[in-house]
Amino acid sequence: MVTNKRRPKPTAVEVDVTIPDKVVTPTEFAAHLAIMEEMLHDVARSLNAEADSIRVQIRDLWPGSAHARLRVVAGPRGEGQAAPKTIVQAAKRHLRDIGQGKARELHVSTRILQLAKRAASSAKPAVYGFSDGSVRLDKEFRHEAVRALSPTEHRHGSLEGRLRDLSAQGGYRPLRSGLRAGLVTRHREITVPCSVAREVAARVRNAFDRRVRLYGVVAWRGEDPVGIKVDDLKVFEPNASLPNWRDLIGIAKEWGPPLNFEDE
């Protein structure tokens, strides 16, 4: 007799996010909750699982303090993929490796390092709590994340992605113009800090939120770009301005036999 047994659902796992400060703004607290959620999804992808193989939910909020307990459960595509417990343990391990200065030798990904650095950049340190201990994201932690993100080589090249985060201050070795930008690469969705030469600053401003290819000296950390000094760029036309297939029929005829694009 054959019986169909349902596989047991993966056990939910809890993670605490706390900012141990007397005065915490909603924006500061929400930023840490969002970073933890984003980090867990990114760890899931690094384990060859779908981003939606887990769901991160708020289980408890403590009144009078910036303390939340998150519940990580299997998502709609969680069957047969990394369990929530495996993903949370990997996230904890990455954070501890960063804090102990072992991120580079243990190959913590650039994406995880960027998220950890952002979390530790707040003026008010946060504590991420796990079942067997916690990690404090303070100035020392941020220092280790920045050190691990330092480039291993520089070479002329180009990067393609979408321009975001235009700013006039701070950043990766800003030039005299002071213009900064963030390029979200199409590969691995890494946000690359960009320092922009004065000669192309206006063109970069006009290309905000557009797909571009930036040219210049690229700083690399292994296979990942971690910065670029931009001296030229190419702006791609948005899809809306490109001709559709019906407009191309006449052009295609000049290249060879007539093509039939009509539905059969």
What pLDDT sits at residue 230?
Answer: 93
What pLDDT sits at residue 135?
Answer: 96
Which residue has 């910036």 as its token pair? Answer: 66
What pLDDT sits at residue 92?
Answer: 96
Distance CA 195, CA 128 (A): 32
150: tokens are 């330092």
What pLDDT sits at residue 260?
Answer: 46
Identify residue 200 by its one-letter amino acid code.
Answer: V
pLDDT tier, 188 (very low <50, low <70, confident <90, very high otherwise): low
What pLDDT sits at residue 233?
Answer: 95
Which residue has 């809890």 as its token pair? Answer: 14
Which of the residue ranges 10-24, 77-91, 164-178 would you say has the lowest mean pLDDT? Answer: 164-178
Helix axes 110-120 and 84-99, enclosed angle (nearest 10): 70
- The length of the chain in residues reads 264
In terms of pLDDT, which residue wins out, 74 or 170?
74
Distance of CA 23 to CAs 19, 26, 58, 181, 258, Å? 9, 10, 21, 31, 71
pLDDT tier, 157 (very low <50, low <70, confident <90, very high otherwise): very high
pLDDT in tens, 97-141: 999 999 988 889 999 999 999 999 988 899 999 998 999 999 999
Distance CA 211, CA 29 (A): 32
Distance, CA of 149 to chain centre: 14
47: tokens are 């384990």
The 3-state DSSP class for residue 30 equals helix
189: tokens are 């969705």
What pLDDT sits at residue 213?
Answer: 94
Distance of CA 125 to CAs 17, 75, 93, 216, Å? 11, 30, 19, 36
CB 129 within 8 A of CB 18: yes
Which of the residue ranges 3-7, 40-44, 97-101 would you say has the lowest mean pLDDT? Answer: 3-7
How do beta strands 13-19 and 54-61 pair? unpaired
Stretch 181-190: mean pLDDT: 76
CB atoms < 10 A from the CB of 57, how many? Answer: 12
Q: Is the pLDDT of residue 255 over 50?
A: no
pLDDT in tens, 204-246: 889 988 999 999 999 999 888 999 999 999 999 876 555 555 5
